[in-house]
Structure 1
Amino acid sequence: MNEIIVAKFGGSSLADSAQFKKVKSIVTEDLRRKYIVPSAPGKRFKEDYKITDLLYLCHAHVEQNISFEEVFNIIEERYVGLVEELNLDLDIKNELNIVREKVKNGASKDYTASRGEYLNGLILAAYLDIPFVDPKELIYFNEKGVLDLEVTVKRVSEKLSSIERAVIPGFYGALENGDIKTFSRGGSDITGSIISRGVNAALYENWTDVSGFLMADPRIVDNPRNIEKITYKELRELSYMGATVLHEEAVFPVREAGIPINIKNTNSPEDKGTLIVSDDNFENKYNTITGVAGKKDFTVITIEKTMMNAEKGYCRRVLSILEDHNMAFEHMPSGIDNVSVIVSNSELNGKIEEILEEIRFKCKPDFIEVHGDMALIAVVGKVMKRNAGISAKLFNALYENDVNVRMITQGSSEINIIIGVENGDFEKALKVIYEAF
């Protein structure tokens, strides 16, 4: 019996008829690719529109009592063009008219946005000549709008046990009453992961327009090396700091089952891509870091108070002030008599003086210092856990290149080191770290 592969194809992989032909070639090349998860059509060229963006725009127009017909005509033209160019016997105009009427009559934002995947799924199923399965029958969100993974996996397993091959659109499922509910943007990655878990796949392939993850941002570092293998934990750390190829929530359904994810390039299917594997099954053969990623524009609020460590609940009071302002924090390094809270400038959004005043009133600090020009860089790799020389190599490289490190923090897992540098040193620091390893 062949092992099952679930293959998810992103918007760039299904943007036009030429891309559809590439997808068909990939799917038919390996008969283990039994369950195919498509996204909505993406951009065909730089100035083009993503179908999902246009659908959101249609919904916004209806809410504001503005005609959406001009926007919907662009959507219709894309789908009709696909069907004609692929020479399919599919009444896509009828499906489009159903969507048009429901949107006109006040369909929900989630229903409207989900139709991009739904329509693309119908076309791909017809083109591959395999059954179409609507994910509203499989993916269950509870009354709070939260995915119920246990119920969903059971539904997927039961439904697909009698369907050998299928196209299952990504991005959405349904509430108990049948109303459509979507994941966050990029959520087709999550759908593919859920289907993989439900059918106990041997592999989850995620096809996109890049050949996997790179060790560093190619916009900053010239020709960074491709990451051949990475663990789930390492991926989470890099994704959190901006290395986005895969939706960060997509790892959870497959992680527990130990199903590997392979990031592949639809336009270069011969490339190995990046294989994401179980945390226990992989050692870095290069004996170096796995990757480096980072983001700019953070503010550091440093609070000092003598005997802070002996004052129960002190840090809780600091964090409760942020919570009251609906703000998240990134990191919280501390000493005996001081604690620093690192917050994204986008979270602060002009609230800094109000927050400082509340800290002074509720926490009675001896001193507060604010630094608003910080960038954070994550250096990630399981190898750091057993190799003391990694940290020395990292900080020596920064020192030799005159990069001032303003903050250092390391998690207990020891697979990452977070360093804080000035915004102006961000690009230089990334290059220096990459070149050192």
Structure 2
Amino acid sequence: MLKITKFGGSSVANATQFKKVKNIVESDPARQYVVVSAPGRRTASDNKITDLLYLLDAHRHYHVDASNVTKIIRERFLSIKEELGLQINMEKELDEFFANLSKMTQAEIVSRGEYFCAKMMAEYLGYAFVDAADVIRFKMDKSIDWEATTAKVKAKCAKYDHFVFPGFYGTDANGHIQTFPRGGGDITGAVLARCIDADIYENWTDVSGFLMADPRIVKNPEPITHITYSELRELSYMGASVLHEDAIFPAKEKNIPIHILNTNRPQDKGTIIQENIDQPSEYPITGIAGKTGFTSILVYKKHMSNEVGYIRKVLSILEEYHISIEHIPSSIDSFSIVVADKDVEDILYEMVARIKSELKPNRVRAKSGLALISTVGRNMSSKPGTSGRLFGALGANHINISMIAQGSDEMNITVGVKEEDFKKTIQVIYDTFVTKKGE
């Protein structure tokens, strides 16, 4: 058994968390290769090191005194070093870093949180330190150079039985530091897992995996023990975020299970993400997620079905404004385009006016205040009456459905409701399929 074990920012926020990481790593000999993020928040009012580094870069860029920021960063790292009794000369490392800020790019600066954290963690665990800059290679188009990266990862694994690896960055084709998007430490772990064909990719964070609904809406929702990559994509897109979405793809390509676990509660089962799941689900659905802040643009034209390319012409107008489309529910003579409020707040009426003048529909109407809720489950297609139960439950609770969309794979049902019904809708769906359980 070979595992890539990644610890997020909350898992390395201070010396106490470092100790938890060590206990976890040493409890399983399969945890040979460890990836770490930069130290995260210790409390709700605290700062993430990466946020401080972005702030430091802004101070540098605008020639503003950054001594207060450098002081906080220095104290964070030195407090971990001193409490753990580490020998690494962090004072020198930090002095050199701050002295060379003017020569560094933003990517170099913000990557140092992971770099310094990995160096300290390597000493604390007694593992080798391997710099991501020497291993992960990006192409000119910023995609990963899999051939070069895989060769370098395998070479490091052949050289070291154990190592600690900083997440979030690598080097581009010109040898300069390049970062992944924020949260990219998750991607780094998945990249390493893919390169060495790991048996499992463990992602340790501050939650015990995914829950079937938002705990801020549903009290004590059931945990999701197993979920497919496809279900995760659906739920993540609708706001159920625990893992960076881009971290799914490298593992999915090799069908490597991703195990989400809680550093603060290592005894919890967590959530296993895997495309092929043999274990039967206890519930007819896997999870519920949703978002508010959508607008529906209704376009109606008599005999529209006889006019070739009409919908395409409307969509081309939205494309000119670079608007991403969420859903397009349609009927014979009308269709609606659902878009995010934030994408159209300054141009909505301009777009509607263009649709009216250029395409001459009988009616165009924009309606905001829409919420979208997705009910997701790999088992829904094999359980007749699932959609009927969902719609019946919403009707019985006097929730009006403005829009319905179902994926072609029958894995999700998305409904649009008024924003004021958002929380109530999620609670009703949860009660229907989980609390009552029924088949």
Report the TM range for the smaller structure's normalisation: over 0.9
Partner of 2:44: 46
SS of residue in 1 equivalent to 2:140:
coil
Partner of 1:177: 174
1:26-105 correspondence runs (5 A): 26-103=24-101, 105=102
Quote the Cα distance in structure 1 between the aligned partners of 2:36 and 2:369: 41
| Superimposed CA distance per residue, residues 143-165 of structure 1 (whole angstroms, 9 cap, x where no aligned partner) | 12233345433432343233221
1:362 aligns with 2:362: no
Count of equivalent residues = 433
Cα distance, 1:307 vs structure 2: 3.1
Partner of 1:228: 225
Cα distance, 1:283 vs structure 2: 5.1
Normalising by structure 2, we get a TM-score of 0.96
1:98-177 correspondence runs (5 A): 98-103=96-101, 105-177=102-174
| Superimposed CA distance per residue, residues 19-76 of structure 1 (whole angstroms, 9 cap, x where no aligned partner) | 0000000001101001101011011111111100000001111111111121011001
Read off the aligned partner of 1:413 and give its amino acid letter: D
Q: Is the 8 A contact 1:296 1:376 kept in 2?
A: yes
Q: CA 1:138–1:349 in 2, change beyond 3 Å: closer, same or farther? A: farther
Identical-pair percentage = 47
SS of residue in 2 equivalent to 1:161:
helix
Cα distance, 1:256 vs structure 2: 1.4
Moved more, 112-121 or 324-333: 324-333
Moved more, 409-418 or 61-70: 61-70
Q: 2:408 aligns with which of 398, 407, 412?
A: 412
SS of residue in 1 equivalent to 2:4:
strand
1:386 aligns with 2:405: no
Moved more, 9-18 or 350-359: 350-359
Cα distance, 1:238 vs structure 2: 0.3
Moved more, 283-292 or 58-67: 283-292
Quote the Cα distance in structure 2 between the aligned partners of 1:140 and 1:359: 46
SS of residue in 2 equivalent to 1:26:
helix
Q: 1:258 aligns with which of 255, 258, 270?
A: 255
Partner of 1:203: 200
Normalising by structure 1, we get a TM-score of 0.96
Cα distance, 1:212 vs structure 2: 0.5
Q: State the Cα RMSD in Å.
A: 1.4
Q: 1:338 aligns with which of 323, 334, 344?
A: 334
Quote the Cα distance in structure 1 between the aligned partners of 2:174 and 2:164: 24
Cα distance, 1:106 vs structure 2: 4.5
Q: CA 1:115–1:220 in 2, change beyond 3 Å: closer, same or farther? A: same
| Superimposed CA distance per residue, residues 344-368 of structure 1 (whole angstroms, 9 cap, x where no aligned partner) | 1111132111111222233322211
Q: Is the 8 A contact 1:292 1:379 kept in 2?
A: yes
Q: CA 1:287–1:224 in 2, change beyond 3 Å: closer, same or farther? A: closer
Q: Is the 8 A contact 1:373 1:422 kept in 2?
A: yes
Quote the Cα distance in structure 2 between the aligned partners of 1:102 and 1:315: 56
Cα distance, 1:241 vs structure 2: 0.3
Q: 2:396 aligns with which of 387, 396, 400?
A: 400
| Superimposed CA distance per residue, residues 263-313 of structure 1 (whole angstroms, 9 cap, x where no aligned partner) | 0000110100011112x3345421410000000010000111223333333
Q: 2:271 aligns with which of 269, 274, 283?
A: 274
Q: Is the 8 A contact 1:230 1:290 kept in 2?
A: yes
Read off the aligned partner of 2:39 and give its amino acid letter: P
| Superimposed CA distance per residue, residues 240-279 of structure 1 (whole angstroms, 9 cap, x where no aligned partner) | 000000001111001011110110000110100011112x
